[in-house]
Structures are given as structure tokens and as C-alpha cells.
Amino acid sequence: MTSEVAVVGMVLLPLLAALPAVVWPRQGKHFAAVGLVATWVCLTVLWIQLWQGPVSVVLGSWPVPLGIAWAVDGARAALLTLAGAVMTAVLIYARKEFALVHQPEPTSQKGREKLLGQRRQAESFWPLMLLLWTGLNLVVVTDDLFNAYVGLELVSLSAVAVVALAGNAEALSASLRYLAYALMGSLWYLLGVTLLYGQHATLDVGLLSQAAWSTPTDILALAIITVGLFIKTALFPFHAWLPSAHASAPAAGSAVLSALVPKVAFLLILKIWLDAGAAAASPAALNVLGVLGAMAVVYGSLLALRQERLKLLIAWSTVAQIGYLFFVFPLAGGPAQEQPWSTDAWSGMWFQLVSHGLAKAAMFLCAGLWLQALGHDRITGLRGMVNYMPITVLAFGLAGVSLMGLPPSGGFAAKYLLLVAAFAAGQWWWAVVIVLGGLLAALYLYRPLAAAMSRPETPPELKPVAAGWQCLPLLLALTAALLGLASAWPFEALQIGRPDWQEGPL
Amino acid sequence: MSASWYAVVASALVAVGLYGFIVQRHILRRVMAFNVMGSGIFLLLGTMARRGDPLTDPVPQALVITGIVVALAATALAVALLIVHARVTSRAALAEDDE
């Protein structure tokens, strides 16, 4: 009973906090704080329950397939925890980014309009973030493909609105381009889901996994769903919307957009290919997924090297880092699911997902603080930051260590596990891409770090930022590092609810 | 009329919508193309419900209603963004300057 309330609460509480934040926008940050604390209570209860085994709820006691099942196992709880951690940092940080400084009422018309715009931006941010969180948690817990569609739409539409918040021409075109891609992705997904329903008369992942996936319509539906989700995950070559959208959003929004939003669409690809449609997953198709991931790693990293603005660099790095996740398909999908190395590949993918989320959120928050201090985010303008904001430079460096996959960090654990699996499977070519991607990450992160640590010719004009705010990204980056230092416990926790998992305390 | 006739019309709507979405540059036309394609998918869902003759399967109808609500929300957001974008840039199409 407690566990069922906790699962439902994970989705319902952010939603319940979002509604009054829409009605009373001035109080948005207080509702956000209450929602945050309440959701963390649920999450804690959920982890305690998970100790005894995976948790599931059948909503309204309507049996599947008419009803909808929600479930949480170790891996999904890891994603819920990542979302909670990033949301916590972002919602605290947003109090700084959207703080309205008390100033005399501007006399000019233009000044008044600007103040009004700032106020609207600040007030819209809180409900949007809470709705986005609702959608994220819904996609994570649900076992029903149409229910997941609703969650995915909630995530996409709130994310598009977050991108548009700044209200200038650049942000508006970025958000419209994002919206066009997101709508196309969701229509493809919906079309595939429709075809699947026509074939199997159910959309429950568990029931679909027992169905025979043999007809051409099944394969067509699988392909259409996958393309739709590729667009939402921004997998190469469907990534065109991501960099401009993530760079135009306010830094607090970018952190969530980069760390969490593509991950839930990826989770659906994972559910479809490793679970619901595992019967149709041929090695050739799984290799195509892996190759697209490899191309994303190389292409995203090369483009990140060429960026002059820090937020664009971080956004292109997201395109690259998402690519690693797709190595799980050739290494742990289809026939390889029975192989001994599949657990390593699968766990490595989850380490990558969580540690990239933490590191990327830390980087965007650093970029946001530097943007506030300097007024711009040109990489060459970061010279000497180590003297003025050393804590953020340390956070950025630590996050970078995780992205490069250097020990000790979550990124290292991820790449180590993936490498082990690649060699055990005899598919050494993935290992080459993993190592190459790490080298390229070191190259593109060298430029902002080198700039920050160099001596400036003239001291930059800075608005001071209190050390407390700088600690937020540091905490996120430290957590990413900690994932590598103490990787045994998270590794065990991920296995809760996997087929070969032994019930009982860890 | 037979269910397959509805399925043909649904496929045609999806195809027309997809074509319009790719070819059109005016944002409002793309929003309309999105709605045409969405209607095609909803019609397809309705066709799925009919196949349970003589009883009609209620689940796809519930899915259609939910889908319409989602499509409406997406359309509203798109039109709102389009209006603000047009006000700020005085353009009805995106400047296709992909980085």
C-alpha cells in the first residue's frame, strides 16, 4: 500500500504543485519548494520499499490491458532520483537566476516593458518546470505506451515553452524549430502505437513482450515508433533542433533540458527494443542503432570543438554523450540479452545516463553563473575566471572529468563497463569509438578550462556571485564523481527487478 | 462502408499532412499540416475500434479523445509562439540558418 502511494505520488505531487503555481504565479517558487520536498519524501519511501523488491501499481484496480500498470524497479528509480537531484539543484538555482532585484519603477515605456518581460519569465518558469517533472516521472513509471505518449507530450510542450522564455528572436526561432521536431516525433510515435494496438489490442509493455512480433505491420510499427523517438532523443541525424534550443533557454532550463529530457525518450526506446519488441530485435537492426550512436559521438564532439559560445559547446556535447547510450543495443539487446556481458553493458549504459545527467546539469549551471557575472558566454571571455569564481571552475572541471570518462567518476565507471562488455562480446569497434569519444571530449573541454585558468590581459568586469550559489553546480559535479568512487552500491541497486536478480536485502 | 475504406482515407490524410509538414515554410501551414496528419492517425484509431464487429472496442475511442486534447494543447502552444515570433521578427517563417 505505502509503495503504491509512493509511486503515484511521484507523478501526482509535482502536478499538484504546478496547478496553484499557475493560478498564483507570484508565489510560484514557494509551491515549487513544497512540491520538491513532498516528491523527495515519496522517492525516499520508494527506495525503502525497493529494498524488498520492485514495486508496481495497477491504477484504479482495472486489470491490464484495459487498465494501466505503473512500475518502478532499480533502474527506473535511478532515473527518478536523477530527475529529483537535477530538479532540486535547478529549482534552488532558479531563485538566483529569476530573482527580481528591487529597483525603482522605470520611467520610460521601454524600461517598463523590459521589467514586465522579466517578471513574466520568472513567473512562468516554476509551473513549467513542475509540469515537465510530472511528465518525466510519468514516462519513467508507466508501462503503457499510450500513457507514455501523454507524458512525453507534457515534457516536450513544457520544454518548448522553457526555450521560448527569453522572448528574443533567437530563442523564439529555436523554440519553434524544437516544436516542429517534437511534434513530428510525437506523431510518428503515435502512428506506430496505433498500428501496434491494431495488431495486439494492447499497449502494455509486459503483454506486448509476450506477443509474437512476426507480421510486416509489427516491423513497420517498430520502425515508425523508433524514428519518432530518435527525433525526441536528438540522436544523430535527428539532432538539428537540440543545440540552438538548449543554448537559448535560461541556464536553469538548459540544465533540465540537457540532463533529463532526451533521457526519457531514450528510456522508451529501451523499453521498446529490449522489452516490448525484443522478439523483433534482429542483430542487424540493433547494430544500426549502435552505429547511429557511434556517429553521434563523433559528430557531436567534432561540432562541440568548433563552438565559440560556451552554452552551444555544452549543448553539442549532449548530442555526443547521448550517442554512448545506444551502444547498449548491440551489446545487450536481442540474442545478446542471454550473454554474460549484457549486465555490464546494460549497467554501463545506466551509469552513463545518470552521470552525464549530473555532469551536464552542473556545466549548464556553471555557464549560467558565468553568464550572470560576465554578461556573455563567449569562451575567450572566460579568461581568468579561476581567480574570481574558483568554485565554479572546480565544478566545471570535475563535471568535465566525468564527461571525458577519467577515473574516479561516474563517466569512468560507465565507459569501463561498456568497454568490458564490448571486448567480451568481441565487438571491439564500439570500444574504439568509446575511447575516441573520451579523447574528443578532453579536447573540446580543454578550451573553456584553459581559458578559465589563464591570466587575463585586462581584468574582466564582473558582477560578483556569492559562493553559496557556486556550490550548487559543485554538489552536482561531486555526485557525478562519487558515482565512480562508490560504484558498487549503485551497481547493485540498478539490478533490482532484473530477471537474474535475487530477492532480498542487497 | 467497409473498414478498409476508412483505413485508406486515414493513410491518405497522414500522407498529405506529412507532405505539407515537410514542404511548407509558413509556420501556420505547418501547424495545419500537423493537424491533418493527426486527424489521419485518429481516424486510423477509430478504424481499429470498428474491427471488433459486432462489438465496438472502446479503448481506441478513449485514446482518440486523449490524443485530441494533446493535439489541441500543442496547436495552442504553436500558434501562441508563432504570434510572438511574428511580432518580434515580422516573419511568418523560420529563418533556415541551421548551424
Per-residue model confidence as pLDDT tens digits over A245-272: 888 888 889 999 999 999 999 999 999 9
CB contact under 8 A, A198 and B70: no
What's chain A's average pLDDT? 89
- pLDDT for A334: 78
Look-up of cell digits 501556420: B28
Average pLDDT, chain B: 87
3-state helix, strand, coil in chain A (%, to 5): 75, 5, 20
A319 CB within 8 Å of a chain B CB: no
**Is the confidence at residue A505, as pLDDT, over 60?**
no
- C-alpha span between A229 and A49 (Å, rounded): 31
A173 touching chain B per CB within 8 A = yes
Question: Rounded to whole angstroms, how far apart are CA atoms A399 and A203?
Answer: 39
Apex CA A195: angle with CA A191 and CA A197, to 5°? 115
The Cα–Cα gap between A467 and A132 comes to: 29
DSSP H stretches of helix in A249-334: 251-259, 261-271, 283-305, 310-325, 328-332
A309 contact residues in B (CB cutoff 8 A): none
Residues whose CB falls within 8 Å of the CB of residue B77, separated by 6 or more in sequence, listed in order: A157, A160, A161, A179
First to last CA, chain A: 22
pLDDT of res. A350:
93
A146 and chain B in contact, CB less than 8 A:
yes
CB of A116 less than 8 A from some CB of B: no
Cell of A188: 510518428
Is the Cβ of A121 closer than 8 Å to some Cβ of chain B? no
Predicted confidence band of residue A101 (pLDDT cuts 50, 70, 90): low
Name the grid cell of A121: 519569465
The C-alpha cell at A439 is 579523447
pLDDT single digits (tens) A212-224: 888 888 899 999 9
A169-200 vs A216-233: helix axis angle to the nearest 10? Answer: 160
Q: Name the phi and psi angles at A249, rounded to 5.
A: -70, 160
A31 contacts A16 by C-beta, under 8 angstroms: no
DSSP designation for A336: G
Compute the average pLDDT of residues A153-179.
Answer: 92
Alpha carbons A115 and A425: distance in angstroms, whole number? 59
pLDDT at A460 over 70: yes
C-alpha to C-alpha distance for A316 and A109, rounded to whole angstroms: 39
Give the list of residues 6+ apart from residue A40 with CB closer than 8 angstroms, or none: A84, A88
* Interatomic CA distance for residues A361 and A256, integer angstroms: 7
pLDDT tens-digit profile of A107-151? 777 777 778 778 888 888 999 999 999 999 999 999 999 999 999
**Contact between B41 and A197 using a beta-carbon 8 Å cutoff:** no
Q: What is the DSSP letter of A204?
A: B
A190: contact with B, CB 8 A cutoff: yes
Q: Which of B27, B48, B78 sits opposite A198 (nearest CB)?
A: B48
Sequence-ordered alpha helix ranges (H) in A98-168 = 109-141, 145-164
> Cβ A190–B41 below 8 Å, yes or no?
yes
- Cα→Cα distances B12→A419, A476, B38, B44, Å: 47, 50, 12, 11
| Residue of higher predicted confidence among A388 and A42 | A42
CA distance A193 to chain B (A): 10
The answer to whether the Cβ–Cβ distance between B95 and A173 falls below 8 Å is yes
Helix-helix angle A467-485:A390-404, to 10 degrees: 20
Q: Which residue of A has its CA nearest to B20?
A: A184
CB contact under 8 A, B44 and A183: no
ipTM passes above 0.90: yes
Helix axes A283-305, A310-325, angle to 10 degrees: 160
Cα Rg, chain A, nearest whole Å: 22
- The strand pairing partners of A69, in sequence order, are A58
Q: Residue A279: how many CA atoms within 13 Å on its side-chain side?
A: 14
Measured in angstroms, the CA of B45 and the nearest CA of chain A are apart by 6
From CA A449, how far away is CA A365, in angstroms rounded?
Answer: 15
Nearest to A197 among B14, B48, B99 (CB): B48
Do residues A490 and A483 touch, judged by C-beta distance below 8 A?
yes
Do A149 and B89 count as a contact with CB atoms less than 8 A apart? no
Nearest-neighbour CA in chain B from A240: distance (Å): 7
Least Cα separation, residue B75 to chain A (angstroms): 10
Q: B55: burial class by Cβ within 10 Å (0-12, 13-18, 19+)?
A: exposed
The alpha carbon dihedral of B15, B17, B20, B25 has a sign of negative
Optimal mutation site among B70, B87, B96, interface A, most CBs of chain A within 10 A: B70
pLDDT at site B14: 94
The cell for A115 is 521589467
- pLDDT value for A506: 40
pLDDT, tens only, A29-38: 899 999 999 9
- Cα separation, A17 vs B83, in Å, equals 29
